[in-house]
Amino acid sequence: MNPHGEKVGYMINIENPEINFALNAVRQAALLVHLIQREMISPALTKEDRSPVTVADFASQALVAYLLQQIFPDDMLVAEEDATELRANQHTLEKVTGFVRHQIPNATHESVCDWIDLGNGSIGSRFWTLDPIDGTKGFLRGDQYAVALALIIDGEAQVAALGCPNLSDAYRLDPGGPGSLVITGRDQGSWTTELDNPKSFQRLRVSSVSDPSQARILRSFESGHTNVGQIDHFATAMGVQAEPVRLDSQAKYAVLAAGKGDLLLRLLSAQRPDYREKIWDQAAGSLVLEEAGGKISDLGGKPLDFTTGRSLTSNRGILASNTLLHSAALRALGEIGA
Ligand code: AMP
Ligand code: MG
C-alpha cells in the first residue's frame, strides 16, 4: 500500500473493452484534430475564420462514432454536432472527408455524415457522450482543447477519456509536446500517458492543499463562459492570494486531477444566467477528477445529474476541487451569492 491506501503496482485495466475503446477512440480523434490544427491554422487565417475548428469538430465526431459502431454497435452516442448543415456545404464536407480518410480510407461524403448523425442518440440507461473538440476557441488560438468521451450508465459516468494534444504530463501547457491522454474507469483511478506514444501510465492524484489562501483557482479562458467579477469576490472571500489560471476546455480537469490546481469554478456569466452545462462538457472531466480523489458538484453543492438530457438542467454552474477545499469553497460561494 502507498500513503493513499492504494495497492502498489496497481494499474487501470486497459484490456477492459469499454476502457480500451475509449482510450483508442479518443487517442485517434485527438491525433487527427491535432493534425488538422497543424495543417489548417496558419498566420494568414483571419480571426473570424472558424473553418479549421469546424472541419476538426466534424472529423473527430465522425471518427469516434464510426469506431463506436464497430465495437459497440448497440450503444447510443450523444454528441455535440450533427450533420444537417454539413450535408449542404460541399466544400467543408470534402475537407472533412479528406481528413477522415487518414484513418478510414473508404470513408465517403455520405458515410461521414451518417457517422456524425449517430451522435443524435437518445439518453437511456447506457450511452456515450462526446465533445469532439471541447474548447474550440482554445483550438483556434493554439492553446488548450480536448477530445472528451464518457460512458454513462444509470446516470453515472463509468469510463472516460480526455485527449489533450497541447498538454504534457496532464498539466504542462506544451504545444508541440507529446500531448496527454487521460483515461479512467470507476474505482480504477485516473491515469495519464503520452498521446503520441502511449507506453507507460502514471496515476493522477489531486493536491493536498487545505489552506484556502494557498488555493490555485482554474477558470475558463473565455470571460464570457464564466463570471470574472464573482471569481474575484470568491477569491477575496477565501483569502486566495494567487491570480486565477485561465485555461480552455476540460484540460482544466486534467490539471486539477494532476494536483497542479486546487479549485475549478464555472460561475454563471451575467449575460447568460440561465446557462446550463452540456453533459459532454462535464461527464469525462468529472470522472477523471473523482477518480484522482477530487470532488465535483454544482455551485449549491448538488451532485451532477446526468439523467436530465443533453443539458444538466438540475444543476447550476460547477465547483470542482481537490476535496479538501470543497466545503470552504461552497461556503464562500454562498457568502458572495453565486
Ligand atoms: P471552457 O473553455 O471551460 O469555458 O469550456 C468550453 C465550453 O464552454 C464549450 O464547450 C461550451 O459548450 C461552453 N460554453 C459556451 N457558452 C457558455 C456560457 N455562456 N457559459 C458557460 N459555458 C459555456
Ligand atoms: Mg465543449
CA distance readout (Å), 18 to 80, 186, 237: 21, 12, 43
User: Ligand 1: which residue has its CA nearest to atom 15?
Assistant: 225
Query: Rounded to whole angstroms, how far apart are CA atoms 8 and 237?
Result: 40
Q: Which of 73, 9, 26, 324 is nearest to 195 (CA)?
A: 26
Query: Rounded to whole angstroms, how far apart are CA atoms 165 and 146?
Result: 7
Q: Which helix or strand (DSSP H or E) is residue 285 part of? A: helix 279-291
Query: Rounded to whole angstroms, how far apart are CA atoms 314 and 311?
Result: 9
Query: Rounded to whole angstroms, how far apart are CA atoms 262 and 252?
Result: 10
> Which numbered atom of ligand 1 lies nearest the CA of 248?
2
pLDDT in tens, 232-276: 999 999 999 999 999 999 999 999 999 999 999 999 999 999 999
Instruction: Please check whether residue 195 is in contact with residue 251, taking contact to mean a CB–CB distance below 8 angstroms.
Output: no
pLDDT recorded at residue 85: 94
pLDDT recorded at residue 5: 64
CA of residue 153 to ligand 2 center, whole Å: 21
CA of residue 134 to ligand 2 center, whole Å: 4
Instruction: Please check whether residue 128 is in contact with residue 77, taking contact to mean a CB–CB distance below 8 angstroms.
Output: yes
Instruction: Please check whether residue 270 is in contact with residue 183, taking contact to mean a CB–CB distance below 8 angstroms.
Output: no
Take residue 235 and report the three cell numbers written for it: 477569491
Take residue 110 and report the three cell numbers written for it: 455520405
Query: Rounded to whole angstroms, how far apart are CA atoms 141 and 143?
Result: 5
Rounded to the nearest angstrom, the gap between the alpha carbon of residue 81 and the centroid of all alpha carbons in its chain is 15
pLDDT recorded at residue 225: 96
Pocket of ligand 1 (CB under 6 A): 134-135, 220-222, 224-225, 248-249, 269, 272, 275, 278, 281
Instruction: Please check whether residue 313 is in contact with residue 276, taking contact to mean a CB–CB distance below 8 angstroms.
Output: yes
Query: Coil, helix or strand for 12?
Result: coil
Q: Which of 202, 139, 162, 164 is nearest to 12 (CA)?
A: 202
CA distance readout (Å), 190 to 57, 144, 211, 218, 226: 25, 20, 25, 19, 27
Instruction: Please check whether residue 189 is in contact with residue 201, taking contact to mean a CB–CB distance below 8 angstroms.
Output: no
Tell which one of 144, 222, 255, 276 to mutate to probe ligand 1, the residue whose CB is within 8 A of the most ligand atoms. Answer: 222
Query: Any idea which residues carry the catalytic annotation?
Result: 57, 136
Q: Which of 163, 192, 146, 195 is nearest to 291 (CA)?
A: 192
Residue numbers in the chain where pLDDT is lower than 50? none
Instruction: Please check whether residue 76 is in contact with residue 126, taking contact to mean a CB–CB distance below 8 angstroms.
Output: yes
pLDDT recorded at residue 48: 85
Exposed, middle or buried: residue 254 (CB in 10 Å: 0-12, 13-18, 19+)?
buried
